[in-house]
Each structure stands twice: as C-alpha cells, then as structure tokens.
Structure 1
Amino acid sequence: MELLLETVALYSLKLAYETEGHSPILRDDPLMGGCDREVFGLLVRRGDLVGIQGEIGRCLDLALGAVGGADTALGRELHQLASEFSTVQTMEQLDAPLIALRGYLKDIQ
C-alpha cells in the first residue's frame, strides 16, 4: 500500500509542479516532502487513516489546482475521486479509491 500511496502523491505533485523542458520530479525529489514511502509506511503501520488522508489530500488539492479546479472537466472527475478517497472509513477500504486515483492521475499527466 505504501507504494500506491507514494505513486498517487508523486503523480499529483508532477501534475502541479512539473513543467515542460525542466527536470522531471522523481520519488527522491525534496518536493515530495512527507509523501515518501517511508512516511506512508509508518502511517500504514500505525493505522493512521486520518494522517494518510491528510497527506494525500494535500497532494490532491495541488493537483486539482493545477487542472483548473473542480469546475473544469478534468477537475470534476479528480474532485469526485478525491471525495471518494476522503470518505473512506477503514484502512481496508483504501485500495479501490487509491487505484482509481492513480489511474486517473497517470492518464491526465
């Protein structure tokens, strides 16, 4: 799960900050901040659903801003997927919304 969380964060930050003609954002980029596999691993081991949702939510907010907000075509879908992720009640329910977010963010890169 840690890799999936890190991938969603990475795709979100790439969408928000990566510009054409510049070096790509990589997993070890300082821009990733607290969104790396080790941090997510700790949150997962603790069962800290709120912490996970907070970190991913911060990244998704940046991505949503990058696509023009929730009123754009890309933004509406991203907002819907982010909402589904944020309403998850248990750690076991995280996989499906994360997989959907990862696929969508990868597609709109």
Structure 2
Amino acid sequence: MELLLETVALFSFKLAYETEDSSPILRDDLMMSDYEREVFGLLVRRGDVEAIQMKVDECLSLALSAIGVDTVLGRELRSLAADFSGVRMMEQLDSPLLALKQYLKDIQ
C-alpha cells in the first residue's frame, strides 16, 4: 500500500508542477520527502487512516488546482477523492486508492 500511496502523491505533483520543458519529477525529488514510501509506511503500520487521508488530500488539492476544480477532469477527481476520504478502515483504502492512482495516471 505504501508504494501505491507514494504513486498517487507523485502523479499529483506531476500534474501540479511538471511542464513539458522541465525535467520530470521523480520519487527521490525533494518535494516528495514528506510523501515517500517510508513516511506512508509508518502511517500504514500505525493504522492511521486519517493521517493518510490528510497527506493524500494535500496532494490531490494541488492536482485539482492544476487541472481546475470545475472541469470535467476536476469533477471526476473530486468524486474519487471523496470516495477515498469516506473510508474509515485501513482494509477499505485499497479500492479507492487504486481508482485514484489509475485516474491520475490516465490524465497525465
């Protein structure tokens, strides 16, 4: 799950900050330091669903700002983010997280 969380964060940052004429954002970039696998791993081991959701929400907010909240893409991302935010147990995070990852990957 940690890799999946890191991937959602990475794709969100790519949408928010990466441009065609710049170098790509990578997992080891400084901006990813608070969203890397080890950070998410600690939260997963603690079972801290709220903290995981807050971190992912920070990333998704950046992505939403980049694509526009009221665009078709933005509305779909908001819907997927709401599904993820509605989860209350660790065991329920996988499905909405996979949907977020796939959607962010598709709209890159």
Alignment TM class, shorter chain as reference: over 0.9
Give distance in 2, aligned partners of 1:102 and 1:28.
19
Report the RMSD for the aligned CA atoms in angstroms: 0.5
Counterpart mapping for 1:18-97 below 5 A: 18-69=18-69, 71-97=70-96
Aligned residue for 2:26, secondary structure, equals coil
Q: Which runs of 4+ in 1 moved over 4 A?
A: none
SS where residue 105 of structure 1 aligns? Answer: helix
Cα distance in structure 2, aligned partners of 1:24 and 1:8: 16
TM-score by length of 2: 0.98
> Kindly, what percent of the aligned residue pairs are identical?
69
Question: Is the helix fraction higher in 1 or 2?
Answer: 2
5+ residue gaps, structure 1: none
Opposite residue 30 of structure 1, the aligned amino acid is L
3-state DSSP class of the match of 2:45?
A: helix
How many pairs does the alignment contain?
Answer: 108
For residues 62 and 16 of structure 1, the distance between their equivalents in structure 2, rounded to whole angstroms, comes to 6
Residue identity in the other structure for 2:5: L
- Structure 1 CA distance, aligned partners of 2:19 and 2:99? 24
Residue 32 of structure 1 and its aligned partner are, at CA, apart by 1.1
**Helix, strand or coil for the counterpart of 1:53?**
helix
User: TM-score scaled by structure 1?
Assistant: 0.97
